[in-house]
Each structure stands twice: as C-alpha cells, then as structure tokens.
Amino acid sequence: MATVRPRSESTPLVIGLGNEHRGDDRLGLDVVRALRGRLAGSARLVEGPGDLTDLLALWSDEDRVIVVDAVRSGRPPGTVYRVEVADGALPSRLRTTSTHGFSLADAVALGRSLGRFPRSLTIFGIEAGTVTMTAGLSDPVARAVPEVAEAVASELRDARRRG
C-alpha cells in the first residue's frame, strides 16, 4: 500500500479498491497502477485497504477523494459510472461487488455517521463481469481501465487549472 501523506498538503487522494485474485474485482488496483507514472505527484495514489472500514482513516478530513471500484448492477461488463457523492445513500446502481465483506456503500454511510468523511467524494465504478478466483480482467473490463484512468487524470488536471 502506498504511503498516505498528511492532509495539509491538500493533494487529492485516489483510492483503487479490489482483490488481486478475484478477476474483475481487481480493476480499482489496475486503475491506480495505470495512474502512477501519469500524475507526477499531483495526487496521492493508494491501492485500497482490504478492509473497507480502513477507508475512514484514509479519507477522513480529506478535501478531495476519488475512489475506483468494481460494481454489479446488471449492466454489461465494462460499463463505466461516475458519481459525485453528495448527501444521501449511494445510487443502487453503484452496489460494489462486496468481495471485501464491507461494501463501499457501507463505508460511505458509516463515515458520514461518524463524521469521518471527505469534503468531496467521487466514485468511478466499472461494471464487473467475473469476480471469482481467477487471474486477470475480462476483456471488456480491461478495455475500461485505461478509459477510467484517463477520466480520473483529466478530472484532476481540470481541478488544478480551476484551483
């Protein structure tokens, strides 16, 4: 896991969630890995915690957080979602794969209730195909990973220009 710097640096935090050994569930990790050489210190990149309750410590009091995770909504694998998390529950279409045991939606709700939540949270989800014990991503999800990496990089570049 990457080192997390103190919030005072005001650098956006990008967290990729997933399980290395569960097929498409690893996509969040792959997006963060694709961003490593591209963001040149303009964001902190974390290959997310295995226990999603640890998200509360990672994102608590952060200004800007982007989370990338696999979702299951019944749409075709590789479908990309972007949701700006405001007040309220996550949209039902953003149910995460929950191979983590504690879902991203649970972490959002718990973080809010405990006052351990970022000022701004954006979630990029990619519809997963298979999340069984298998190596590698399915073809449609593998094609979506660079698309989401570019979307995250572009969003961060645009925020720096405005900011």
Quick: pLDDT tens for 5-62: 444 457 999 999 998 999 999 999 999 999 998 887 889 999 987 777 788 889 998 9
For the chain, the domains span: 7-162
Q: Which long-range contacts (CB under 8 A, 24 or more apart) does 2-9 make?
A: 2/44, 2/45, 2/46, 2/47, 4/44, 4/46, 4/58, 5/44, 7/61, 7/62, 7/63
| Three-class DSSP category at 89 | coil
Looking at residue 41, what is its pLDDT? 80
Average pLDDT over residues 136-148: 96
CB 83 within 8 A of CB 69: no
Judge whether residue 94 has pLDDT over 70. no
Average pLDDT over residues 92-99: 55
Average pLDDT over residues 55-75: 91
Looking at residue 159, what is its pLDDT? 83
Looking at residue 92, what is its pLDDT? 61
Cβ neighbourhood burial of 57 (10 Å; 0-12, 13-18, 19+): exposed
Question: 7-162 adopts what CATH topology?
Answer: Rossmann fold (3.40.50)
Alpha-carbon distance of 53 to 44, in angstroms, equals 19
134 vs 102, more confident: 134
**pTM attached to this predicted model:** 0.86
Hunting for tokens 């879902």 — which residue is that? 103
pLDDT band of residue 2 (cuts 50, 70, 90) is very low
Give me the percent of the chain exceeding a pLDDT of 70. 84
Looking at residue 3, what is its pLDDT? 47
Dig out the tokens for 95 from the structure: 């149910």
Considering the chain, what is the average pLDDT of its residues?
Answer: 85
